[in-house]
Amino acid sequence: MSETIAVPAQSLAATASQAPIIDVAHVHKSVTDSTGTLEILRDIDFTLAERETVAIVGASGSGKSTLLSIIAGLDTPTRGTVRLAGEDLFALNEDERAALRARKLGFVFQSFQLLANLTALENVMLPLELAGHRDARRRAADMLGRVGLAQRLSHYPKVLSGGEQQRVALARAFVVQPAVLLADEPTGSLDFATGETIMELMFALNREQGTTLVLVTHDRAIAERCDRRITIEAGRLV
């Protein structure tokens, strides 16, 4: 006769809370042209926990940025699945993926990706307005103050330094309090000292908000500050 074991409710809650925020399962990515098929990613398989900080590292052309785009649902895998907060990204249509990104993801890019015709304040307000927040102006101004730009709210990107533009990008990413922040070479276009300042700010905001941070970087020192490092060589996990 089999024995039934009672599991305390606290244990069940703890187990549930340990479900991965990101689950990448056997992801492949290939492209085909007149010269043949190029395998960009080959059987990528890993999970990330809530609040984890992870660096994706590897040589140029290894597939790092492609993997980040697939995690974000901006690119589609040839095979495999990606789950974000339990949702299968590629079982959703494009509009549904965009809505999930708006709720769960923040982005920081090497090239900042600010809208040139919007001020710093308006750039940071934009994701809040798209999400329907009525206090977008106040929240955006508060976050720009948090990153040291309280005096630059009305400035357009063209008159901001590279470091200031990346601070605006950080404020825009964190103002929606995303579950996951994806960063693609966030210091790649900055000088060393400015890059150090930006990374200190990114890690501080990440700790404050309890975000899962996934960043692509060539910088070994930045990678070593993360909880984990995922190394890709020729499209494969090492």
Q: How many domains does the chain have?
A: 1
- Measured over the CA atoms of residue 39, residue 216, residue 182 and residue 226, the dihedral's sign is positive
CB 237 within 8 A of CB 231: yes
Query: pLDDT per residue over 174-203, tens digit each?
Result: 999 999 999 999 888 888 899 899 999 999
The sheet with strand 105-109 has its strands ordered as: 105-109, 180-184, 212-216, 53-57, 228-233, 236-237
The radius of gyration of the chain from alpha carbons, rounded to an integer in Å, stands at 19
Note whether residue 1 is domain-resident.
no
CA dist 111 and 190 (Å) reads 10
Query: Kind and range of the H or E element at 108?
Result: strand 105-109
Query: pLDDT per residue over 5-53, tens digit each?
Result: 444 444 444 444 568 999 999 999 999 988 889 999 999 999 999 999 9
Note whether residue 15 is domain-resident.
no
What rounded mean pLDDT belongs to the chain?
A: 89
Note whether residue 10 is domain-resident.
no
Residue 216 structural domain: 20-237
Contacts of 235 (CB under 8 A, 6+ apart): 29, 39, 40, 41, 42, 62, 63
Note whether residue 13 is domain-resident.
no
Instruction: Using alpha carbons, select from 226, 218, 157 the residue that is nearest to residue 187.
Output: 218
Note whether residue 39 is domain-resident.
yes
CA dist 130 and 132 (Å) reads 5
The sheet with strand 22-33 has its strands ordered as: 36-48, 22-33, 79-84, 87-88
Here the tokens at position 80 are 């495999």
- Place 132 in a pLDDT band, splitting at 50, 70 and 90: confident
Note whether residue 14 is domain-resident.
no
- Place 233 in a pLDDT band, splitting at 50, 70 and 90: very high
The whole-model pTM stands at 0.84
Query: For position 79, which CATH number holds?
Result: 3.40.50.300
CA dist 33 and 127 (Å) reads 37
Q: Coil, strand, or helix at residue 143?
A: helix
With a pLDDT cut of 70, the percent of the chain lying above it is 92
Note whether residue 122 is domain-resident.
yes
Note whether residue 106 is domain-resident.
yes
Residue 5 buriedness (CB in 10 A; 0-12 / 13-18 / 19+)? exposed
The residue behind tokens 């470091």 is 163
Query: pLDDT per residue over 63-78, tens digit each?
Result: 999 999 999 999 999 9
The residue behind tokens 């798209």 is 130
